[in-house]
Amino acid sequence: MADGDYVLEARGVLKIFGNHIALDNVDFGLRSGEVHALLGENGAGKSTLIKILTGAYQPDGGSVHVDGIEVSLDNPLHAQTFGIGTVYQEVNLLPNRSVAENLFLGHQPRRFGFVDFRRMEADARILLAHYDLHIDPSSELGTHSVAVQQIVAIARAVQLSGKVLILDEPTASLDRNEVERLFDVVRGLKAGGLAIIFITHFLDQVFAIADRVTVLRNGRLIETRPLDALSRTDVVRLMLGKDIAFSGATDVEPSETPDEVLLDFKGYGRKRSVLPFDLTIHKGEVIGVAGLLGSGRTEVARIMFGADPADQGEVTVNGKPTSLRSTSDAIRHGFGFCPEDRKAEGILGDLSVRENIVIALQGKLGWFKALNRDEQLEIAGRFGEAMDIRAASLDMPVKLLSGGNQQKVILSRWLATDPAFLILDEPTRGIDVGAHAEIVRTINRLREDGMAMLVISSELDEVVAYSSRIVVMRDREMVAELRGRNINPGVIVQAIANNTDEAVA
Amino acid sequence: MKRLHLERLANPQLLALVAVLLINWLLFPNFFRITWQDGRLFGSVIDVLNRGAPVAILAIGMTAVIATKGVDLSVGAIMAVCGAVAATMVVAGYPTPVAVIAALAVGLACGLWNGFLVAVLDIQPIVATLVLMVAGRGIAQLITEGYIVTFNDPALIFIGTGSFLGFPMAAVIALVLMLLVTLLVRRTAIGLFIQAIGVNRAAASLAGIHSRMLLVLVYALSGFCAAIAGIIVAADIRGADANNSGLWLELDAILAVVIGGTSLLGGKFSIPLAVVGALIIQAMNTGILVSGFPPEFNLIVKAGMIILILMLQSPLVGTVMGFFKRDTRQAAPK
Amino acid sequence: MTIISKLAIAASLATALTSVSIAQENLQGLTVGFSQIGSESGWRAAETSVTKQQAEALGVDLKFADAQQKQENQIKAIRGFIAQGVDAILVAPVVATGWDDVLAEAKEAEIPVLLLDRGVDAPDDLYLTAVMSDQILEGRVAGDWLVGEVGDADCRVVELQGTVGSTPAIDRKAGFEQAIAGHDNITIVRSQTGDFTRAKGKEVMEGFIKAENGGADICAVYAHNDDMAVGAIQAIKDAGLKPGTDIKVASIDGVPDIFAAMAAGEANATVELTPDMAGPAFAALSTYLADGTEPEKLIITESKLYTPADDPQGEYDRRKDLGY
């Protein structure tokens, strides 16, 4: 790996937001004629690294080199002049303008000071032919499929930059055939010597197209390696940070005589969201849910909670057949749900800590049995103390609290409703160590008190530590259920990666 | 304790109202003169209450709508429709209570329609209510067949021009409505739920709040308030003027709500302060009338005052004021 | 004095139905297209009704087209009339510009076009004539009435203007001021806009009354339209004063409700903006068709003054079903 090989290189890049280190001394090198996959779970630092490489962010340390020469990229437009172009997940072109205009916007061929439409369309036709795309350049971009729009976006980016192409989750909204078509284009560009960075959550696609892979985790570089030396399991292990040899099994004793059944899902699922699954949940049981991002973990939670109601299968609560058509149905049956995206779906930012804590209980009580201020303060105070919420006042807006304290507020919100079944989606993501420990302690305490829980987490150590059982999601399907000694990170990683030869019994 | 009370009263809206009234007094020394005439109070300040009532009533419903991060552009048109319904029905010989109840029911139905578009079809409020804003006036014209439907029904006229304990009926209705709605939202959990929806509808729904039903209710309330305002305005001029009744009043109502400190981004709201906002707007209007400024300056004067009031409310000014307050407090013990 | 001569031709609205001139018999059996703006106001609706009545009385087959405030609809309607081969076209143009082409097409087809109520920015050889009111004259008639009414006594007038910046507001203000100029006993002490509406007319008048010593200092109110006057009358009554006596009321338009007020002794004068634009138009058309006499390019309708002496109750009854 001689330095001179790299078209684009980041050396020891450091990026700090506030007191959070987003990228810590990361090296990254890109060669021409390669497809380089950039992998990592949410918050690993992928997008921060991309933004530094395209000039959207300035690094706080380290340097960026183009063709071995150190450069300072002021903004994406500036990066373009060094030959670096980007295509994002959502096509950011103008759907109501023509394909040709989108290709040449900002540098249209001109004649006597006016846009020369005829030449522009002729140029567009030639350009598109390189991509085997035979569409009318004067047609509106928005009338074409997302795949075609992506290819137009790629054509534009390559046309403008021509050295490095960054594809940020370009396949997220494409179907299988469209992905293939896009990959043909990518292979063609690679053969033409372009250097390509490919970001995706789909491992299959990484193995289908990438030459090398770089894995980031928690802002650190874990590994850069040629892909042919790696198995799927290796990649998942790198991403999740679990050594396959590690076998710290759960310390939760599987009770020989399980408590009574609380919930029983049979063939439960929702079209285009989660394939039907069977799951029985007992009182006093924590079901851990493992799987990569986009594997259908959150979707399972939302279906169970009635936020996106199931369209197939049945569920019984305490043995009685029930329908969970809405969140209020679920709440009436004693469900609670702490969503993954705390800011967008969890907290009511401008409202006070007190109001945030009582809101679900008040929702359960209805419009006319209003808790008065004193009752609200009493409830908020009780749970605030039990959860150790650090707030200057219960009347301050919850948005001013730290992430960990916000999570405790949302947990308190549900505990105030005295739930029988609590769904926690990534309850410890992005929160400080103290709050993290507090939440794990709470999960254990609640389980001992007989509450049933479903906990989704990417932190395998953590899931292993508190789960009675673990279900594994892959490609929107519940693929494995692990119990007893099988609850250890190694087995989980294998189940997530699932090579048939490594399959878990 | 007393001091705390005073501090609560000293909010920017009430201060602005007092300031506008004082400016009016400077421009027109008899502004505060109130006389007793024909069994009721008579004076410019009473005019402010009376004339401000329709916008205040609209603002009551609009506050709830805006608190859910919505807006209701159709209230002016609903006023025209409901005034037209009440007027044509009394002219056609229906008893006054029947006509009034019918007009209120029509306003409620208009509100339910808006709520249906916003909550069930998930159309953006500004677009959803634009439908009725445009169509409503046409409907009102159909009802009145393009005439100003003039009536002489004493009971209906009383709603617009009568008085209760010397105060104009319109102002009394606005006050009662304000108290009722304020009690409704504050003594039940509805107020909290409205705020929750406005702050973050996704999170509120996940917390088990029936956001759809509540949104429909809020728009229905706004339509109902518009119906009351429409009846008052028609009763006041003894005629339903489909072309002009409530014209642009939706904007005054929105402005009143904003002056009242409710953010267009939803969340925390105050119905009484929105009513104060409506009175501020009317105090400016009445002030312009009695001051003798040429009408060409009306809008400029109004705009200037509003900019000033909104600036006084801005967080930046709040911070600066807070800084000075703290400063004096610290200085005091020395 | 061509205006006067035209006024003689122009039958007033109230009598038009019975006084169709013999000279217009040549219109019998003709087909005339009428492109109306819409029905945005009571006056507009009355204009439509009166035009239809006039046509019926003359035996004219009137083809009516409502443009709903859109010029494109009017142009479409006129092209339709041309295609049908009508004998003449009446147009109340919604805007002033953009008529050249379609008027040229009508001229090409040798169909005379008569403009009602508003003019257009087009060469005047493209249309036969335009029948319009003179809004400055209306204001002047109202002002002249007041001058005659008060004599040498001092009179402090409050003015309810139309919508700020609108042509009728500007013209009616100017006409009134012309009439009272030179009569120092009459002064306009307050002037505000009432936006041509009843509600605003009432609100502004309330303010004026407070500002003018409870109304005691006001001698007369001059409103740019009758609707504002009707609102002002209510405000005067609410203040415990007698409209028409304590404060004189003069206004413009001649809508039914002001005649009702006049009959009740609450209004003193109104200047009619006649909805009968079609009468003079038909008269001009008749003359033109008879011997090819080109009428004046601008026919000004009469601005007739009505006072309580002019049988207001009768005027009310005659107008109440015209669509005001």
Buried b (16+ CB within 10 A) or exposed e, A87-107: bbeebebeeeebbbbbbbeee
Say whether A245-334+419-505 and A3-96+140-230 share the same fold. yes
Q: Given the DSSP bridges, would you call strands A69-71 and A61-66 parallel, antiparallel or unpaired?
A: antiparallel
**CA–CA distance, C177 with C170 (Å, rounded to integer):** 11
Which among B195, B205, B267 is the nearest to A327, CB-wise?
B205
Three-class DSSP category at C21? coil
What is the per-residue DSSP string for A194-224? -EEEEE-S-HHHHHHH-SEEEEEETTEEEEE
Of residues A343 and B101, more confidently modeled: B101
Residue with tokens 């693929």: A479
Q: How confident is the model at residue B306 (pLDDT cuts 50, 70, 90)?
A: confident
Specify whether the CB–CB gap between C44 and C101 falls below 8 A.
Answer: no
Query: CB B286 to CB C207 under 8 A?
Result: yes
Whether B193 and chain A come into contact, CB under 8 Å, resolves to yes
Specify whether the CB–CB gap between B46 and B34 falls below 8 A.
Answer: yes
pLDDT at C21: 47
Distances (CA, A) of A177 to A182, A183, A198, A356, A472: 9, 10, 18, 46, 27
- What pLDDT digit, counting tens, does each position of B247-283 carry? 899 999 999 999 998 988 888 999 999 999 999 999 9
Which residues, in sequence order, are CB contacts of C308 under 8 Å at separation 6+?
Answer: C262, C263, C265, C268
Which among B189, B203, B208 is the nearest to A347, CB-wise?
B203
Question: Is the model's pTM score more than 0.90?
Answer: no
pLDDT at B143: 93
Q: Which domains does chain C have, with CATH numbers?
A: 2-133+274-301 (3.40.50.2300), 135-272 (3.40.50.2300)
pLDDT at B8: 57
CA of B267, closest CA in chain A: separation in Å? 7
Angle at C200 between CA C197 and CA C201, to 5 degrees: 80
Residue type, A257: T
Three-class DSSP category at A338? strand
Q: At what angle do helices C42-58 and C278-291 cross, to 10 degrees?
A: 40
Query: CB C164 to CB B233 under 8 A?
Result: no
**Range scoring the smallest mean pLDDT among A374-383, A406-415, A488-497, B29-38:** A488-497
Q: Which residues of B touch A364 (CB under 8 A)?
A: 208
CA of B48, closest CA in chain A: separation in Å? 34
Q: Name the maximum alpha-carbon separation found in chain C.
A: 65
**Range scoring the smallest mean pLDDT among A57-61, A349-353, A448-452, B311-315:** B311-315
Q: How confident is the model at residue B68 (pLDDT cuts 50, 70, 90)?
A: very high
Q: What is the mean pLDDT of residues A155-184?
A: 82
Q: Which residues of C touch B237 (CB under 8 A)?
A: 198-199, 202, 230-231, 234
Q: Which residues of C touch B145 (CB under 8 A)?
A: 323
β-bridge partners, A338: A424
Query: CB B38 to CB C198 under 8 A?
Result: no
Query: CB B245 to CB C214 under 8 A?
Result: no
A38-52, A84-98, A201-215, A330-344: which is most confident: A330-344
Specify whether the CB–CB gap between B87 and B100 falls below 8 A.
Answer: no
Three-class DSSP category at A19? coil
What is the per-residue DSSP string for A94-115? -TTSBHHHHHHTTS--EETTEE
Which among C192, C196, C206 is the nearest to B295, CB-wise?
C192
Which residues, in sequence order, are CB contacts of B205 under 8 Å at separation 6+?
Answer: A307, A327, B211
Q: Given the DSSP bridges, would you call strands B163-164 and B167-168 parallel, antiparallel or unpaired?
A: antiparallel
Would you tell me how many other CB atoms lie within 10 Å of the CB of residue A137? 23
Specify whether the CB–CB gap between B234 and B179 falls below 8 A.
Answer: no
Where does C85-225 have alpha helices with state H?
100-108, 135-150, 167-180, 198-211
Specify whether the CB–CB gap between C222 and C193 falls below 8 A.
Answer: no
Which among C193, C197, C207 is the nearest to B241, CB-wise?
C197
pLDDT at A230: 85
Whether B264 and chain A come into contact, CB under 8 Å, resolves to no
Q: Which residues of C touch B243 (CB under 8 A)?
A: 40-41, 197
Q: What is the mean pLDDT of residues A263-280?
A: 91
Q: Which residues of B touch A305 (CB under 8 A)?
A: 206
Q: Name the maximum alpha-carbon separation found in chain A.
A: 86
**CA–CA distance, A6 with B330 (Å, rounded to integer):** 62
Distances (CA, A) of A13 to A29, A53, A58, A61: 12, 10, 10, 5
Residue B67 main-chain phi, psi, to 5 deg: -65, -25
Q: How confident is the model at residue A2 (pLDDT cuts 50, 70, 90)?
A: very low
Whether B205 and chain A come into contact, CB under 8 Å, resolves to yes
Strands (E), A283-329: 286-290, 312-317, 320-322
Domain boundaries along the sequence of chain A:
3-96+140-230, 245-334+419-505, 348-418
Element of type H or E holding C280: helix C278-291
**CA–CA distance, A107 with A478 (Å, rounded to integer):** 50
Angle at C320 between CA C314 and CA C324, to 5 degrees: 135
Q: Which residues of C touch B285 (CB under 8 A)?
A: 203
CA of C286, closest CA in chain B: separation in Å? 32
Closest residue in B to A347 (Cα) is B203
Residue with tokens 């739920």: B193
CA of C118, closest CA in chain B: separation in Å? 21
**Range scoring the smallest mean pLDDT among A426-440, B67-81, C119-133:** A426-440
Three-class DSSP category at C134? coil
Q: Is the pLDDT of residue A91 over 80?
A: no
Please tell me what DSSP assigns to residue C194.
Answer: -
Q: What is the mean pLDDT of residues A233-255?
A: 62
Q: How confident is the model at residue A359 (pLDDT cuts 50, 70, 90)?
A: very high
Closest residue in A to B191 (Cα) is A367
Where does chain B have alpha helices with state H?
2-9, 12-27, 44-67, 75-91, 96-115, 125-144, 154-161, 169-187, 190-199, 201-206, 211-237, 249-259, 271-291, 298-313, 315-331
Q: Is the pLDDT of residue A246 over 70?
A: no
Q: Which CATH fold topology does A245-334+419-505 show?
A: Rossmann fold (3.40.50)
Q: Which residues of A touch B205 (CB under 8 A)?
A: 307, 327
Angle at A149 between CA A147 and CA A155, to 5 degrees: 105
Q: How confident is the model at residue B4 (pLDDT cuts 50, 70, 90)?
A: very low
Q: Is the pLDDT of residue A266 over 90?
A: yes
Please tell me what DSSP assigns to residue A75.
Answer: S
Q: How confident is the model at residue A279 (pLDDT cuts 50, 70, 90)?
A: very high
Q: Which residues of C touch B241 (CB under 8 A)?
A: 197-199, 227
Closest residue in A to B186 (Cα) is A370
Distances (CA, A) of B198 to A347, B203, B265, C261: 12, 10, 7, 51
Token pair listed for B66:
């805006």
**CA–CA distance, B89 with A424 (Å, rounded to integer):** 59
- What pLDDT digit, counting tens, does each position of C269-293 carry? 999 999 999 999 999 999 999 888 8
**CA–CA distance, C46 with C114 (Å, rounded to integer):** 19
pLDDT at B63: 97
CA of B216, closest CA in chain A: separation in Å? 14
Residue with tokens 């003079």: C280
**CA–CA distance, A72 with A54 (Å, rounded to integer):** 10
Against chain C, the chains showing at least 3 CB pairs within 8 Å are: B
Specify whether the CB–CB gap between C145 and C269 falls below 8 A.
Answer: yes
CA of B190, closest CA in chain A: separation in Å? 6
Q: What is the mean pLDDT of residues A51-63?
A: 90
Whether B241 and chain C come into contact, CB under 8 Å, resolves to yes
Q: How confident is the model at residue A251 (pLDDT cuts 50, 70, 90)?
A: low
pLDDT at C2: 43
Token pair listed for C210:
């407070």
What is the per-residue DSSP string for C72-107? HHHHHHHHHHHHHT-SEEEE--SSSSS-HHHHHHHH
pLDDT at B132: 95
Q: Is CATH 1.10.3470 the right assignment for the domain spanning B43-312?
A: yes
pLDDT at A497: 81
Query: CB B210 to CB A349 under 8 A?
Result: no
Against chain A, the chains showing at least 3 CB pairs within 8 Å are: B
Domain boundaries along the sequence of chain B:
43-312
CA of A306, closest CA in chain B: separation in Å? 9
CA-based torsion, C84, C87, C92, C93: positive or negative: positive
**Range scoring the smallest mean pLDDT among A120-124, B328-332, C318-322:** B328-332
Q: Which CATH fold topology does A3-96+140-230 show?
A: Rossmann fold (3.40.50)
Q: Which residues of B touch C324 (CB under 8 A)?
A: 147-148
Residue C130 main-chain phi, psi, to 5 deg: -125, 130
Whether B29 and chain A come into contact, CB under 8 Å, resolves to no
Flag residues of chain C having pLDDT under 70: 1-23
Q: Which residues of C touch B148 (CB under 8 A)?
A: 42, 198, 227, 257, 324
Token pair listed for A374:
């004193």
pLDDT at A245: 43
Specify whether the CB–CB gap between B125 and B67 falls below 8 A.
Answer: no
